[in-house]
Amino acid sequence: MEYNIDEEKIGKVYDPKLMGRLLGYVKPYRAYILTCILLLLIITFLDLATPYFTKVAIDNYINGLNTPMYLFKEGESPVEGIGFQGKVLVRTNQIHGKLDKPVYQIIGLNGEYYLIKGTLQNYEGTSVSDDMGITPALTDFSGRYVLIRSGGAEYPGIRLSDEDLRVFRNYDIRHVFMISILLLIIILLSFLLNYIQVYLLQYTGQRIIFNMRKELFTHIQNLPISFFDRNPVGRIVTRVTNDMETLNEMYTSVLVNLFKDVFIFIGCIAVMLSLDARLALISFAVLPLVFASTFIFRNKVRSAYREVRLRLARINATLQEDISGMKIIHIFNRQKRQYENFNNINLDYYRANMRQLTIFSIFRPTIDLLYYLTLSIVIWYGGGNLIQGSIQFGVLYAFINYISTLFQPISDMAEKFDIMQSSMASSERIFMLLDQPEEPGDVHTVKALDRISGKIEFKNVWFAYNGENWVLKDVSFTVNPGETVAFVGHTGAGKSSIMSLIDRLYDIQRGEILIDGVNIKNINTKMLRRHISIVPQDVFLFTGNIKENIRLNKDVDEEKVKRAARYVNLDGFIQKLPRGYDEPVMERGSTLSQGQRQLISFARAIITDPEILILDEATSNIDTETEALIQDALRKITQDRTTIIVAHRLSTIQHADKIFVLHKGKIRESGKHQELLKKGGLYYRLYLLQYSDRNNEAVSP
């Protein structure tokens, strides 16, 4: 039953047991999650396609003018080519394999462009001679004939006029435009899918957290009262609120995005390998360094983060303590030393922050540095290939793009560790609360109590809140249906415990409590409580309005609320409120007087017409007018039902059918007021102590 956990504990990054349980909550939404993953796969595909198409645009069109071309007769070309002088030229890179066709190439020299037969790579030492006896037979095209000489070889060709050149350029421009349109479609599609994906993922995350919250809250409702005695309210609230938020972050920003990172990573590698395997492998040479440094830094980042968290917690604890103890600090002239102490803690925190900053300041730029290292390798090696002509320029360009994409997920890694770590710690705390045993409930449910007579019996009841500190020792008594009995006793005699036990807020250790002759352990707890109404000493009012506070249950109609209010003399007061029954209850009812709160509590108790009423009278003084109303209401509500009162008013005990005098956990005396007084025992002394000077009540002993 012990539920105690170090709030500042910082857990592991990954705990398979916790993760397994967390994934259990994902199950109902696996279709959504799978859709998200599928969408991410498509999005990654689209993202990676962009640099690829850019590469195509550069190599084939923007930088495509110099590409050698096959010559086809009109209508014979297998793919779309460039129509020129009634023939068709198709760039060699548009066709797989080598063809046995004449090859032409456009070269630009000193601002002039020539279409030559054959291919020429290096323009150095190239000379052009005009029209020197070149016959049209040497080339398939007509125009101003030229002969290009380069490296001992001769290339016949024609000089291209501006109009001729435009034919080729328009072909390229048209295709670049088409690719641009294609890319536009891709980014629009990617936008759409991204939005759907983000929405779906967040929706799923929110649903999962909604469900978990609901489960946790419902579970809390079924925990025994003793659990709430042991655990501070704030701690339980934090489980339902903040810890759940951390989990939400885990579900939405880590879980699914992990897939995205993996997709991008694999996708990049695949595309790069397919573009140029050797260059790809060379660029990957740095990756082991990236992994190694991530691995090394991971632990450092984690421990630095942990330090910062712990020191921050210390700062907060010290501040909290010093603010609440400020009076003592002043009185004992401790300002200087408390300041020194705080300063040390503050400095410690600053240093921890700086350590974390240093580690981060090295880690993040290290990844950047490795990126630049990869980039320079690609430029050097890829550029070499470019010069040798073994790759095209666009490939190099695409590689530069893919490398930066490849490094993206790696830089975010540290952040994801953070999230994982805190979510593991949160989930551990949440599950620990979920694993608390619920109130002993319906195991032995035997009786469906519809209507009871209201007889209460305690048979040799022993009860302790913990261990052997008996609050009630061998208590036995019987209350007959319709009777009003009062319990009196000094503080700590066990009166309130008896009230709680009848309602089965706690289970007794020995003996039996019977209602209508049935052991309450054999009655459904909720069923039992429906027949019992409690009016506590401190009235607890909920946020809402007066009406809601009286009826509590939503399906009680307004007329019934008003009838109950009239019955307990509350109606007159409510009528005076600006909004009547709809008057909002501010700050837990602090604007209402003690007496008014008491009356609301009465109305709340009798609205369901319970057979048993348990009443802990308010001790504080209530103004005479309200007091009279309360007395009158009290008389009415105790009629015709079994009533147990922890009495603080003399009038109440005087009207009781029976009085039980509790002392140190035992019933010492019982009887009627006058009889007990005459005995001159415990009751007499209690009477003198507690009731004798209530001068607003005329009493004769």
Partner 1 sequence: MREFLTLKDLFIKYRWRYAVGIFWLICVDSVQIILPRFLGYITDSFQSGGLTERSLLINAFYVLLTGILIFVFRYLWRMYIIGTARRFEYSLRDKYYKHLLELSSNFYNTHKTGDLMAHATNDINAVTMALGQGVVMLTDSLFLSIVTVAVMFIYLNKTLTLMSLIPLPAMAVTASIFSRKIHHRYKLVQDSFSNMSDIVQENISGMRIIKSFVQEDNEIFKFIEANKDYMNKNMSMVRLWGFMAPFIQTLSGLGFIIILWYGGTLVINGLLSLGDFVSFNMYLGLLIWPMMAIGWVINIMQRGAASMQRLNEIFHIKPDIYDRKVIDMDMIDGDIEIRDLTFSYRPGLDPALKNIDLTIKKGETLGIIGKTGSGKTSLCNLLLHMYNVPDNTITIGGVDINRILLAVLRKNIGFVPQENVLFSMSIKDNIAFGVEDCSDEDIIEAARIAHIHEEILEFPDGYNAMVGERGVTLSGGQRQRVSIARAIIKKPGYLIFDDCLSAVDTQTEYDVLTSLKDIIKDCTTIIISQRISTVQNADRIMVLDNGMIAEYGTHEELMKLGGLYYSTYQKQQLEKQLNEMD
Residues 533-592 that bind partner 1 (CB under 8 A): 533-534, 536, 540, 542-543, 552-554, 588
H/E stretch holding 107: strand 103-109
Task: Locate 7 and state its tokens.
Answer: 């709030």
Q: Which residues contact 560 (CB under 8 A, 6 or more apart)?
A: 551, 607
Binding residue for partner 1, selected from 213, 563, 655, 672, defined by CB under 8 A: 213
Shortest Å, Cβ 697 to partner 1:
17
Strands (E) in 429-469, as ranges, are 456-464
Cβ distance to partner 1 smaller for residue 7 or 625 = 7
447: nearest Cα among 498, 514, 512: 514
Task: Let me know: does 458 contact 644? Beta carbons within 8 Å.
Answer: no
Q: Which residues contact 292 (CB under 8 A, 6 or more apart)?
A: none
d(CA 45, CA 185): 14
Based on the shown chain and the rule CB under 8 A, indicate whether residue 441 belongs to the binding site for partner 1.
Answer: no
Task: Let me know: does 486 contact 438? Beta carbons within 8 Å.
Answer: no
Shortest Å, Cβ 339 to partner 1:
6
Shortest Å, Cβ 320 to partner 1:
6
| Span near partner 1 by CB under 8 A; candidates 284-292, 343-351, 476-484, 642-650 | 343-351
Task: Locate 156 and state its tokens.
Answer: 């016949």
| Span near partner 1 by CB under 8 A; candidates 90-98, 237-245, 408-416, 449-457 | 237-245
Can you say whether the dihedral through the CA atoms of 382, 386, 392, 393 is positive or negative? positive
Instruction: Give Dmax over CA atoms of the chain in angstroms.
Output: 150
Half-sphere exposure of 245 (CA within 13 A, CB side): 4
Cβ distance to partner 1 smaller for residue 510 or 529 = 529
Based on the shown chain and the rule CB under 8 A, indicate whether residue 218 belongs to the binding site for partner 1.
Answer: yes
Amino acid at 274: S
Based on the shown chain and the rule CB under 8 A, indicate whether residue 135 belongs to the binding site for partner 1.
Answer: no
Shortest Å, Cβ 397 to partner 1:
7
Shortest Å, Cβ 39 to partner 1:
12
Strands (E) in 429-568, as ranges, are 456-464, 470-479, 484-489, 510-515, 518-519, 532-535, 544-545
653: nearest Cα among 642, 665, 663, 645: 645
Based on the shown chain and the rule CB under 8 A, indicate whether residue 617 belongs to the binding site for partner 1.
Answer: no
Binding residue for partner 1, selected from 346, 522, 594, 654, defined by CB under 8 A: 346
Shortest Å, Cβ 16 to partner 1:
29
Based on the shown chain and the rule CB under 8 A, indicate whether residue 278 belongs to the binding site for partner 1.
Answer: no
Based on the shown chain and the rule CB under 8 A, indicate whether residue 199 belongs to the binding site for partner 1.
Answer: yes
- Chain residues 361-390 in contact with partner 1, contact rule CB under 8 A: 361-362, 364-366, 368-369, 371-373, 375-377, 379-380, 383-384, 386-387
Task: Let me know: does 547 contact 561? Beta carbons within 8 Å.
Answer: yes
- Chain residues 651-670 in contact with partner 1, contact rule CB under 8 A: 663-664
Shortest Å, Cβ 408 to partner 1:
12
Shortest Å, Cβ 523 to partner 1:
13
Shortest Å, Cβ 342 to partner 1:
5
| Span near partner 1 by CB under 8 A; candidates 16-24, 265-273, 352-360, 577-585 | 352-360
Site string for partner 1, 88-117 (x = CB under 8 A): --------------------x---------
Based on the shown chain and the rule CB under 8 A, indicate whether residue 63 belongs to the binding site for partner 1.
Answer: yes
| Span near partner 1 by CB under 8 A; candidates 28-36, 236-244, 279-287, 451-459 | 236-244
Based on the shown chain and the rule CB under 8 A, indicate whether residue 490 belongs to the binding site for partner 1.
Answer: yes
Binding residue for partner 1, selected from 45, 52, 259, 360, defined by CB under 8 A: 360
Helix 162-221, helix 30-56: angle, nearest 10: 160
Based on the shown chain and the rule CB under 8 A, indicate whether residue 335 belongs to the binding site for partner 1.
Answer: yes
582: nearest Cα among 552, 527, 544: 544
Task: Let me know: does 180 contact 62? Beta carbons within 8 Å.
Answer: no
Based on the shown chain and the rule CB under 8 A, indicate whether residue 68 belongs to the binding site for partner 1.
Answer: no
Q: Is 390 helix (H, G, I), strand (E, B) or coil?
A: coil
Based on the shown chain and the rule CB under 8 A, indicate whether residue 604 belongs to the binding site for partner 1.
Answer: yes
Based on the shown chain and the rule CB under 8 A, indicate whether residue 296 belongs to the binding site for partner 1.
Answer: no
Task: Locate 263 and state its tokens.
Answer: 């997709």
d(CA 264, CA 515): 69
3-state secondary structure 166-208: HHHHHHHHHHHHHHHHHHHHHHHHHHHHHHHHHHHHHHHHHHH
Question: With CB under 8 A, what is the number of residues at the site for partner 1?
Answer: 131
Cβ distance to partner 1 smaller for residue 134 or 570 = 570
- Chain residues 665-694 in contact with partner 1, contact rule CB under 8 A: 682, 685-686, 688-689, 693
Based on the shown chain and the rule CB under 8 A, indicate whether residue 124 belongs to the binding site for partner 1.
Answer: yes
Task: Locate 686 and state its tokens.
Answer: 């209690």
Cβ distance to partner 1 smaller for residue 78 or 701 = 701
Based on the shown chain and the rule CB under 8 A, indicate whether residue 151 belongs to the binding site for partner 1.
Answer: no
For the chain, the straight-line distance linking the first and the last C-alpha, in angstroms and rounded, comes to 50
Beta strand 144-150 pairing with 127-130:
antiparallel
Based on the shown chain and the rule CB under 8 A, indicate whether residue 317 belongs to the binding site for partner 1.
Answer: yes
Based on the shown chain and the rule CB under 8 A, indicate whether residue 180 belongs to the binding site for partner 1.
Answer: yes
Shortest Å, Cβ 532 to partner 1:
7
Based on the shown chain and the rule CB under 8 A, indicate whether residue 408 belongs to the binding site for partner 1.
Answer: no
Binding residue for partner 1, selected from 332, 460, 620, 639, defined by CB under 8 A: 332
Shortest Å, Cβ 425 to partner 1:
18
Shortest Å, Cβ 591 to partner 1:
17
Please give the distance of CA 499 from its chain centroid, rounded to a whole number.
40
Based on the shown chain and the rule CB under 8 A, indicate whether residue 465 belongs to the binding site for partner 1.
Answer: no
Q: Which residues contact 538 (CB under 8 A, 6 or more apart)?
A: 618
Beta strand 470-479 pairing with 642-646:
unpaired
Based on the shown chain and the rule CB under 8 A, indicate whether residue 214 belongs to the binding site for partner 1.
Answer: yes
Binding residue for partner 1, selected from 28, 78, 325, 572, defined by CB under 8 A: 325
- Chain residues 500-539 in contact with partner 1, contact rule CB under 8 A: 503, 505, 526, 529-530, 532-534, 536
Binding residue for partner 1, selected from 38, 76, 112, 241, defined by CB under 8 A: 241
Q: What is the CA angle 213-215-218, rounded to 5? A: 105
Cβ distance to partner 1 smaller for residue 277 or 317 = 317
Cβ distance to partner 1 smaller for residue 145 or 407 = 407
| Span near partner 1 by CB under 8 A; candidates 16-24, 282-290, 350-358, 466-474 | 350-358
Q: Is 292 helix (H, G, I), strand (E, B) or coil?
A: helix
3-state secondary structure 324-366: HCHHHHHHCCCHHHHHHHHHHHHHHHHHHHHHHHHHHHHHHHH
Cβ distance to partner 1 smaller for residue 333 or 469 = 333
d(CA 376, CA 285): 12
Return the DSSP state at 382: I
Based on the shown chain and the rule CB under 8 A, indicate whether residue 447 belongs to the binding site for partner 1.
Answer: no
339: nearest Cα among 329, 331, 348: 329
What count of residues does the chain have? 701
